[in-house]
Amino acid sequence: SQQGEEDPQALSIQEGENATMNCSYKTSINNLQWYRQNSGRGLVHLILIRSNEREKHSGRLRVTLDTSKKSSSLLITASRAADTASYFCATASGSARQLTFGSGTQLTVLP
């Protein structure tokens, strides 16, 4: 079963605009991670946010975490065509020694 669920399932924006993707999860977590997957490739780790953190930045990426709402958001600023990919959130819960992935958001950035 999926722990994290991304919203929206698909998002299409113009180059230069910001893209926001959301992830909701069901149980308490230790950390939440975001990954990117380009078509036909493996997933690439983007950023990790721990349960005691509320916001984290990495380049054009900004991740927020609201543990009271069991939700996270990934913001990509000033998007580029090269950002076109699927984005997945993944959660690590309790004593679990593995990640559970959501079903992903397909982002298309139009030039």
Partner 1 sequence: NAGVTQTPKFQVLKTGQSMTLQCAQDMNHNSMYWYRQDPGMGLRLIYYSASEGTTDKGEVPNGYNVSRLNKREFSLRLESAAPSQTSVYFCASSEAASGRSGGYTFGSGTRLTVV
- Contacting partner 1 within 80-109 (CB under 8 A): 88, 90, 92, 96-104
Give me the least distance between CB of 17 and partner 1, in Å please: 26
Count, residues in the chain? 111
Give me the least distance between CB of 78 and partner 1, in Å please: 24
Q: Checking phi first, is residue 16 left (phi over 0); if not, alpha (psi -120 to 50) or beta? A: left
Q: Which of 19/23 has CB closer to partner 1? A: 23
Q: Which of 1/14 has CB closer to partner 1? A: 1
- Contacting partner 1 within 4-63 (CB under 8 A): 30-31, 33, 35, 40-45, 48
Q: Which residues contact 55 (CB under 8 A, 6 or more apart)?
A: 49, 62, 63, 64, 65
Amino acid sitting at position 101: F
